[in-house]
Amino acid sequence: MSGSWPWGVLIFLGAYHGLNPGMGWLFALSLGLQQRSRTAILRALIPIAIGHAVAVSLTLAAVGLVGAKLPHQALKFLVAGILFALGLYRISRSRHPRGAGMRVGFRDLAVWSFLMASAHGAGLMLAPVLLAHPMQGMHHAMDSATGSNLAEIAISVLALAVLVHTLSLILVAGATATLFYQFYERWGLGLLRHTWFNFDLLWALALMIAGLAALII
């Protein structure tokens, strides 16, 4: 089972994460507006991308480590279970990051992005893709009786997966923030007000869909 579609899913999920205002584009936009500078948006996106990438990498590494000890089926159920639980939790209650603010530097933004991606289960949402399909041309001999195939994926492929995902995120987040910034120059923030919908709810559903995907693929 190999093909290029897992890469497509990673790019799609990157774009999806990028569109979520809670993953950074909104923060970048507000910093741009506060400083009246488009470059401030781009400057903010770098630490946001780093924080996101670190959070996703750590989650996938953790899944990989657990996967090395568990049979593949058990790992699938575990990941699906966590995804469902997180999705339900995010529907029932959400929390605020404490100690955040608007005067933020590189480190603050990276930490904020890391916390947001971790708390929202951004990395976990990618796990089913890697669980199901080691990347094309890179998978080693598999023996699912002694451990999950995720553990078998080369570090370099995992790194590439995170990179591709993050690049996709940053392109979409950057484009979205820049679009709103351009729009603001002419018409103010009316577009933001009218297009703002509850992405958190959509996100919770996406977590559960990912849980389902972990079970069936």
8 A C-beta contact, residue 199 and residue 22: yes
Cα–Cα distance measured from residue 93 to residue 64, given in angstroms and rounded to the nearest whole number: 29
Q: Smaller CB distance to other proteins: residue 91 or 212?
A: 91
The distance from CA 200 to its chain's CA centroid, rounded to whole angstroms, is: 13
8 A C-beta contact, residue 84 and residue 201: no
Residues that bind other proteins (CB under 8 A): 21-22, 26-27, 29-30, 33-34, 36, 91, 93-94, 96-104, 112, 188-190, 192-193, 196-201
Q: Coil, helix or strand for 135? A: coil
Q: Coil, helix or strand for 143? A: coil
Q: Smaller CB distance to other proteins: residue 192 or 212?
A: 192
Q: Smallest distance, Å, CB 41 to other proteins?
A: 12
Q: Smaller CB distance to other proteins: residue 4 or 39?
A: 39
Q: Coil, helix or strand for 201? A: helix
Q: Pick from 13, 46, 60, 27: which is nearest to 168 by CA?
A: 13
Q: Smaller CB distance to other proteins: residue 33 or 61?
A: 33
Q: Which residues contact 59 (CB under 8 A, 6 or more apart)?
A: 118, 121, 122, 123, 124, 126, 127
Q: Smaller CB distance to other proteins: residue 143 or 185?
A: 185
Q: Smallest distance, Å, CB 197 to other proteins?
A: 5
Q: Smallest distance, Å, CB 18 to other proteins?
A: 15
Cα–Cα distance measured from residue 175 to residue 113, given in angstroms and rounded to the nearest whole number: 18
Q: Smallest distance, Å, CB 28 to other proteins?
A: 8
Q: Smallest distance, Å, CB 62 to other proteins?
A: 26
Q: Tokens at residue 143, please? A: 């023996």
Q: Smaller CB distance to other proteins: residue 49 or 150?
A: 49
Q: Smallest distance, Å, CB 166 to other proteins?
A: 20
